[in-house]
Structure 1
Amino acid sequence: MHTVWKGSISFGLVNIPVKLHTATENKDIKLRQLHKKCHTPITYQKRCPDCEEEVAQEDIVKAYEYAKNKFVVLDAEDLEQLKKEQEEKAVEIIDFVKLEEIDPIYFEKSYFMAPDAGGAKAYSLLKEALNESGKIGIAKIIIRSKEQLAVVRVYKEGLIMETIHFPDEVRKIEDVPNLPEGQKIVKKELDTALLLVEQLTTTFDPEKYHDEYRTALMDLIEEKKTGKKTVTATDKKPKESNVTDLMSALQASIDKTKKKKPAAKKRTTAKAKKNA
């Protein structure tokens, strides 16, 4: 399993060297975009609309737009130094809270946490302390150049770290348009709804839920592949270079000049005879 972060996490005077591994994966089926006419995959180029030219990666800089079309350019060296300074700090658990106190809207991404060399005992100590107390730890961590708020909690036989949004990253529900207000609910309707909830209540079993759309899409793809309903991209035809075009033009000019020379010599001879 690929390591996405390596460092140490501490609570009090206990320091634990750890590694993070992505706990989830995106299984969306990626579909390519083709040109309908020739079935060639569409490419995306980074172009400068002002210079009207394609821009190479090394010619791109990062900047912050503080006003319309006004930017503060940030040097790669400055960003790298800032990132290094933050990542070198040990991640400290700053608070312990109950999991149910955090609304699910705050949760973002999950990472399995594994002890690094020499960290097994401290790792086990933190796991047991969290397990016995029924609490989770709140910490801050830098992942991919972004400071994240995170929770550390027990997950089955190990520990898991889940990044969570900062409060200012969660939008206010009051800003959602057309939320109903003052709706009167008839008791009979509520009783019927509660009865339906009761009938559908069960113990959560994640294994019973499947991505039916993804399964149906893969079945459709396999069906078309088996039925030979496939297309092949057209081979890209090499373009003639400007050098070739220039050489052709020069050669044509030379050939044209050669054809004219005999006629010119003949006219000169006739003129000479007349003068004689």
Structure 2
Amino acid sequence: MKSIWKGAISFGLVSIPVQLYSATEEHGVSFRQVHAADGGRIRYRRFCELEDREVQYAEITRAYETEDGELVVLTPEDLAELPLPSKKIIDVVGFEEVGFFDPIQFSRAYYVKAADAAAAKPYVLLREALKRSGRVAVVKVALRNREAPALVRVLEEEDVLVLHTMLWPDEVRSAQAVAPDEKVTVRRQELDMVDSLMDALGGYDPEEFTDEYREAVEALVASKEGIAPLPKEAAAGEERGQVIDLMSALEASVQAARDKRGGTAAPRKKAAAKKTTAKKTAGTKTTGTKTAGTKKTAAKKTGTAGKKTAAKTAGKKTAKKTTRKPGKAA
């Protein structure tokens, strides 16, 4: 792996030289655009609309578009001189319990590596302190031309630190518009049946999940190349209409799940103790201070960056598995 950032984690008077590595990579299907008539590749050219000519990449710089449409040109030198401490420093501004942040706020994940032998001792010290306290470090970092809040936690399966960049509170949309409009009541028998269905379905097994779309595209490509015949179309499943009898549908679902698993239900895990959710206001994020505020998962938009992430949800500590769950940081 190639490091994408070099700098230091700073907390108190302690500085830990570190390097960041991308922790994930996607393996989706990639297409190219071609001319439908003859299959020729489509190319895009960089064109200056004022001079009406093609320009080379070396002639291109950046510009910021204002609200009235004016373009303010910014050179690489201008951007390099920005007074931004987080360009090379991951500044620890506080600590929170594992599960404090809602996963909806997470953006990308990076492995944190000690930059040299001298950094190993303070690195391990921070790692062990986080493990013993059950907390995560709340930090600010500038990556890929963007400053963002982030957290540093311990990936216990591999005993390394992981940095998760997060969205600003005003970048998380409110969920009020998608919540059910009417008050709905459910019976205890229905809840019990859903519990039975969850037990019958069992837990997460990564070996049971495949990218069927990718496999279908690869099979289609192989058939067009004459390498293999196109697989027969899978039988269409029974069309699902509106559920009239919820209990009957649940009972049938439970039976189908048990039949699929060989007539046995997965053992139910002991439920984790519920944790009271406390919300915090998205205040200006200049230090690690916090203010009490409204109970909303997504903080209201305030129009300025530099705000403290606002949602706190009850979280479960990451299960120790060989395969890690994507998108979960606790």
Q: Report the 3-state secondary structure (helix = DSSP H, G, I; strand = E; otherwise coil) of the residue aligned with 1:160.
A: strand
- Report the CA distance shift for 1:207/1:84 in structure 2 as closer, same or farther (over 3 A): farther
User: Structure 1: how far apart are the matches of 2:169 and 2:84?
Assistant: 25
User: Structure 1: how far apart are the matches of 2:23 and 2:196?
Assistant: 37
- Matched residue, 1:166: 168
- Displacement after TM superposition at 1:186 (Å): 4.3
- Displacement after TM superposition at 1:207 (Å): 4.2
Listed as ranges, the matches of 1:108-187 within 5 Å are 108-117=107-116, 118-155=118-155, 156=157, 157-174=159-176, 176=177, 179-187=179-187
- Matched residue, 2:256: none
Q: Report the 3-state secondary structure (helix = DSSP H, G, I; strand = E; otherwise coil) of the residue aligned with 2:82.
A: helix
Q: Which amino acid aligns with 1:99?
A: V
Is 1:13 the counterpart of 2:13 in the alignment? yes
Q: Which amino acid aligns with 1:105?
A: I
User: Structure 2: how far apart are the matches of 1:101 and 1:45?
Assistant: 47
Q: Report the 3-state secondary structure (helix = DSSP H, G, I; strand = E; otherwise coil) of the residue aligned with 2:99.
A: helix
Contact 2:140 2:147 in 1 (8 A): yes
Q: Report the 3-state secondary structure (helix = DSSP H, G, I; strand = E; otherwise coil) of the residue aligned with 1:101.
A: coil
- Displacement after TM superposition at 1:111 (Å): 0.7
- Report the CA distance shift for 1:94/1:205 in structure 2 as closer, same or farther (over 3 A): farther
- Matched residue, 2:201: 200
Q: Report the 3-state secondary structure (helix = DSSP H, G, I; strand = E; otherwise coil) of the residue aligned with 2:181.
A: coil
Contact 1:152 1:160 in 2 (8 A): yes
Q: Deviations over 1:4-59 (max 9, x none)?
A: 01111022232211111111012112111111111111111222445443233334
- Displacement after TM superposition at 1:86 (Å): 4.4
Q: Give the paired residue count.
A: 225
Structure 2 unaligned regions, length at least 5: 230-330
Comparing 108-117 with 211-220, greater Cα deviation is found at 211-220
- Report the CA distance shift for 1:181/1:84 in structure 2 as closer, same or farther (over 3 A): closer
**Which structure has the greater CA radius of gyration?**
1
- Displacement after TM superposition at 1:137 (Å): 0.6
Contact 1:83 1:145 in 2 (8 A): no
Q: Report the 3-state secondary structure (helix = DSSP H, G, I; strand = E; otherwise coil) of the residue aligned with 1:162.
A: strand
Contact 1:113 1:158 in 2 (8 A): yes
Structure 1 unaligned regions, length at least 5: 230-276
User: Structure 2: how far apart are the matches of 1:85 and 1:127?
Assistant: 23
- Displacement after TM superposition at 1:144 (Å): 1.6
Q: Deviations over 1:198-252 (max 9, x none)?
A: 32242x44444322221222232233324499xxxxxxxxxxxxxxxxxxxxxxx
Q: Report the 3-state secondary structure (helix = DSSP H, G, I; strand = E; otherwise coil) of the residue aligned with 1:137.
A: strand
Is 1:105 the counterpart of 2:101 in the alignment? no
* More helix as a share of residues: 1
User: Structure 2: how far apart are the matches of 1:184 and 1:100?
Assistant: 29
Contact 2:8 2:15 in 1 (8 A): yes
* More strand as a share of residues: 1
Q: Which amino acid aligns with 1:80?
A: A
- Report the CA distance shift for 1:183/1:213 in structure 2 as closer, same or farther (over 3 A): same
Q: Report the 3-state secondary structure (helix = DSSP H, G, I; strand = E; otherwise coil) of the residue aligned with 1:223.
A: helix
Contact 2:222 2:228 in 1 (8 A): no
User: Structure 1: how far apart are the matches of 2:8 and 2:75?
Assistant: 29
- Matched residue, 1:221: 221
- Displacement after TM superposition at 1:109 (Å): 0.6
Q: CA RMSD in A?
A: 2.4
User: Structure 2: how far apart are the matches of 1:135 and 1:167?
Assistant: 21
Q: Which amino acid aligns with 1:55?
A: V
Q: Which amino acid aligns with 1:94?
A: V
Q: Report the 3-state secondary structure (helix = DSSP H, G, I; strand = E; otherwise coil) of the residue aligned with 2:147.
A: strand
Q: Deviations over 1:176-210 (max 9, x none)?
A: 4x6421242342554443432332242x4444432
Listed as ranges, the matches of 1:29-40 within 5 Å are 29-40=29-40
Identical positions, percent: 37
TM-score (norm 2): 0.62
User: Structure 2: how far apart are the matches of 1:115 and 1:64?
Assistant: 36
User: Structure 1: how far apart are the matches of 2:101 and 2:85?
Assistant: 30
